[in-house]
Amino acid sequence: MSPIISFLYVLLVVIFLVMGASIVFHMLYYRINRRAARAMFIIYATGAVIFLISNFIFFKSVDWYQIFSNINL
């Protein structure tokens, strides 16, 4: 796999994690209802973990060499 593709993927994941941390912080810090904040945090965190795992599996299953073999730079 190309190091450029790997770097861009890692950068995308880091941006997703930073944005997710910001969302979780605001969800828990500015809560109106403590029970609702916990429930939404659990739902959001579970969805984020499932998204990251499935995204990583799909990313690994792509043959990047075949995709970029026809590009002439």
Residue 9 lies in a domain: no
Residue 37 lies in a domain: yes
* Counted domains in the chain: 1
Residue 12 lies in a domain: no
Residue 26 lies in a domain: yes
Residue 30 lies in a domain: yes
Residue 2 lies in a domain: no
Q: Which residues of 2-40 are buried (b: 16+ CB within 10 A; e: fewer)?
A: eeeeeeebeeeeeeeeeebeeeeeebeeeeeeeeeeeeb
Residue 31 lies in a domain: yes
Whole-prediction pTM: 0.73
Residue 56 lies in a domain: yes
- Express each pLDDT in 15-61 by its tens digit: 999 999 998 888 888 877 888 888 888 999 999 999 999 999 998 89
Domain extent at residue 41: 20-61
Q: How confident is the model at residue 1 (pLDDT cuts 50, 70, 90)?
A: low
